[in-house]
Chain A
Amino acid sequence: MTPATSAHPARSSALRRGLQGIPLRALILFLCFLWTLPTAGLLISSFRQRSAITSSGWWTVFAHPFEFTQWTLDNYQLVLTSDGMGRAFLNSLLVSIPATVIPITIAAFAAYALAWMQFPGRRWIFAGIVALMVVPLQMSLIPMLRIYTQMGLNGTFLGIWLAHTGFGLPLAIYLLHSSIAGLPKEIIESAAVDGAGHFSTFSRLVVPLSLPAIASFAIFQFLWTWNDLLVALVFLGTRPDVAVVTARLSELVGSRGQDWHILTAGAFITMVIPLLVFFSLQRYFVRGLLAGSVKG
């Protein structure tokens, strides 16, 4: 979390002119307010009684915010103390971390090869990858499950890692390719001149330089796998030893969806970890990793 400001003289001068000061701040504030409003409603609702949620608007709490009788922790207590929630959190982590790292690793290698290696069929492979991004994963569920059943991969973590990897790869390769291909040619070539092979060029040079792209994709892939319900239900199931958080929550809400006040708390409890990931990867979004290394 190092805001990359004031390190550059150019930027401090930028702050003294042009679009800046009050109107700039007001505009950003307004957008942030607009974007946060719905979530704020959910947050406030998650601390209200079930009956209050359905009978009055969440903004009515501001009429007398210090009337503590209207606040309750019941929703959170219900979710956190429900059977198997702890195990579900662990399962979600067991699914999401590898299901984030594996596709990124595989995609980074593939993206590097497509960008900086010469071999026949590159263009077709790239075209295919763009096309495959649109394949709805629902179409893959049944054929994959047949193969899993034959191979005994049903309900295993390895099975779901590979599934998430397969479904996430096209986008991963596409996004990482756009950043790896954008690296200055001079850098890659000078590494080759220094006698580094492709593998070490990739691991010591390309990966560090494309960290912002890798970090941003890691955030999204983590979010998707963490919040995914369908793939987890199909390949893991709802048995307590493998159920993930989203699966537990959707069961808590009940078969008729009548208990969605639980969802208000559930949504925030499940958000905590993705937000931690976001903040911890924030520091890779810094300016000028390449600044100065290339003659502009």
Chain B
Amino acid sequence: MQGASTAEESSLLDSQPARILRPILGLTAIFAAFGWSTGFMRDPNAPAWQLLLVALAIGVLGVWTLFFLANDLVSRFPRLWAERIRPYIFVGPGLLLLFAYLVFPTVQTLYLSFLDARSQRWVGWQNYQFAFTDRTMLIAFRNNLLWLVLVTGISVSLGLLIAVLVDRVRWEPLAKSLIFLPMAISFVGASVIWRFMYAFQPPGRPQIGLLNAIWTGLGGNPIGWLQTQPLNTFALIVIMIWLQTGFCMVILSAAVKSVPSELLEAARIDGANEIEIFFQVIIPYVSKTVMTVATTVVILVLKVFDIVYVMTSGQFGTEVIANRMYSEMFRFRHFGRGSALAVILLIAVLPVMIGNIRSWRRAQ
């Protein structure tokens, strides 16, 4: 990967066809390899190690080489042009994929949201009217708000707290791994775990759910944690917090570690105690990362549907927007409503987006 030819080497006079041809040939070869891999990877007789090797070569080296060669090609251009085009070489592949996989479907979704269930007739705002008047949808909006506030607030602050605290103990990796563990479990696995937590048996029978076992042990009657409103929405929120705190902690931990020790030392010499240091040194230093993490969690929460889908499917007043969107799309096959709900999610994220752009502009 070395020997990246720099812009200095190329000049107006430097335009030997051979040197231009090299990256072009390289690029062609890479695309040919991508094409060939699609067939080879499906070969049932190929040994496992070969498949892995091809996957690694194509998937890992291929993309990097692609950038290298494209950059090489641009460097052959006249200098002024090279520097104008180069940024697009850097962002181009990303933009292309974003356009194909997200922008284009989004535009289509917007269009579909004004059509009926089977996308045959134009119905105007009817799907949106449904979204803002239907009883279960209103419940979904209320729940989404609860989810946003509680999950984002609790998991970000807990994540930060843990990141700062474990930084001071010797068994940090172990503690972090335990908090991170839930992230490694697939959603289906997580749902089984929480069935063991929330399970219900009629009174007088042995409880197999931990919470009801504790509760009946204290003398209460067993509770249907997932069926009793509004308790059930909180029960589901707890699962999300349990899952997301690890994410916040890992990212914030990287930020906390980047706080220069000189700063901490200086503050200590000034006689600040640890709590003051936390609020006056660490928090300001990692505030940008906190904002990033909070944004990410807000978006994850807006999109949350697996937990609700697997545990209650939105019944008993636990509906959230994303789950309803999924139901409308795939269970009820009402593409108009499903699309309208997706658009509403997109609009809901606008405030977060604007906040991010502002801080970005400040940073520039």
Q: A55-B206, A97-B56 are in contact. Are A139 and B105 (CB under 8 A)?
A: yes
Residues of B within 8 A of A45 (CB): 196
A126 to B357, Cβ gap below 8 A? yes
A144 at the interface (CB under 8 A from B): yes
Majority SS at the chain A contact face: helix
Bound CA–CA A16/B6 (angstroms): 51
Q: Mark B154-179, 1 if CB is under 8 A from A, else 0.
A: 00001000100110111111011111
B293 vs chain A, min Cβ distance (A): 9
Q: Mark A147-180, 1 if CB is under 8 A from B, else 0.
A: 1000011011111011101110111011100110
B329 to A278, Cβ gap below 8 A? no
Contact of B37 among A129, A132, A157 (CB under 8 A): A157
A28 to B162, Cβ gap below 8 A? yes
Bound CA–CA A141/B360 (angstroms): 32
A106 to B94, Cβ gap below 8 A? yes
Considering only residues 109-141 of chain B, those with a C-beta below 8 Å from chain A are: 109
Q: Mark A82-101, 1 if CB is under 8 A from B, else 0.
A: 00000000100110011101
A61 at the interface (CB under 8 A from B): no
A243 at the interface (CB under 8 A from B): no
Bound CA–CA A11/B75 (angstroms): 47
B148 at the interface (CB under 8 A from A): no
Bound CA–CA A61/B100 (angstroms): 53
B250 to A216, Cβ gap below 8 A? yes
Residues of A within 8 A of B151 (CB): none
A171 to B101, Cβ gap below 8 A? no
Task: Give B197's nearest chain A residue, CB to CB.
Answer: A38
B260 to A97, Cβ gap below 8 A? no
Interface residues of B, count at CB 8 A = 132
Residues of A within 8 A of B251 (CB): 175, 213, 216
Binds A, one of B18-26, B60-68, B227-235, B311-319: B60-68
B186 to A197, Cβ gap below 8 A? no
Q: A14-B264, A263-B189 are in contact. Are A278 and B177 (CB under 8 A)?
A: yes
Q: A11-B261, A134-B348, A203-B1 are in contact. Are A198 and B86 (CB under 8 A)?
A: yes
A136 to B101, Cβ gap below 8 A? no
Task: Give B57's nearest chain A residue, CB to CB.
Answer: A98
B185 at the interface (CB under 8 A from A): yes
Contact of B262 among A106, A242, A296 (CB under 8 A): A296
B213 to A59, Cβ gap below 8 A? yes
B349 to A131, Cβ gap below 8 A? yes
A14 to B103, Cβ gap below 8 A? no
A134 to B59, Cβ gap below 8 A? no
B3 vs chain A, min Cβ distance (A): 9
Bound CA–CA A158/B322 (angstroms): 28
Q: Mark A107-140, 1 if CB is under 8 A from B, else 0.
A: 1011011100111000101111111111110111
Residues of B within 8 A of A159 (CB): 38
Interface residues of A, count at CB 8 A = 140
A13 to B268, Cβ gap below 8 A? yes
A14 to B168, Cβ gap below 8 A? yes
Task: Give B291's nearest chain A residue, CB to CB.
Answer: A178
Residues of B within 8 A of A287 (CB): 257-258, 261
B360 to A126, Cβ gap below 8 A? yes
Bound CA–CA A263/B100 (angstroms): 36
Q: A19-B274, A131-B349, A158-B41 are in contact. Are A59 and B210 (CB under 8 A)?
A: yes
A186 at the interface (CB under 8 A from B): no
Contact of A143 among B104, B183, B187, B189 (CB under 8 A): B104
Contact of B179 among A35, A179, A296 (CB under 8 A): A35
Q: A35-B245, A249-B188 are in contact. Are A296 and B260 (CB under 8 A)?
A: yes
Bound CA–CA A139/B188 (angstroms): 22
Bound CA–CA A234/B342 (angstroms): 19
Q: Mark B224-261, 1 if CB is under 8 A from A, else 0.
A: 00000000000000000010010100110110011011
B41 to A157, Cβ gap below 8 A? yes
B342 to A139, Cβ gap below 8 A? yes
Task: Give B59's nearest chain A residue, CB to CB.
Answer: A98
Q: Mark B178-214, 1 if CB is under 8 A from A, else 0.
A: 1111111111110011111100000000111110010
Bound CA–CA A173/B188 (angstroms): 28
B90 at the interface (CB under 8 A from A): yes
Most buried by A among B5, B60, B84: B60
B292 to A143, Cβ gap below 8 A? no
B4 to A197, Cβ gap below 8 A? yes
A166 vs chain B, min Cβ distance (A): 3
Residues of B within 8 A of A165 (CB): 97, 101
Offer 5 A-B interface pairs, CB within 8 angstroms, sorted by A. Answer: A36-B181, A133-B349, A136-B305, A136-B325, A220-B183
Residues of A participating in the B interface, judged by any CB pair closer than 8 Å: 1, 3-5, 8, 10-11, 13-15, 17-20, 24-25, 27-28, 31-32, 35-39, 41-42, 45, 53-59, 90, 93-94, 97-99, 101-102, 105-107, 109-110, 112-114, 117-119, 123, 125-136, 138-140, 143-144, 147, 152-153, 155-159, 161-163, 165-167, 169-171, 173-175, 178-179, 181-182, 195-200, 202-203, 212-213, 215-216, 219-220, 223, 227, 229, 241-242, 246, 249-250, 253, 260, 263-264, 266-267, 270-271, 274-275, 278-279, 282, 285-291, 294, 296
Given A14-B268, A53-B208, 6 extra CB contacts under 8 A = A41-B197, A117-B86, A136-B342, A166-B98, A229-B186, A275-B177
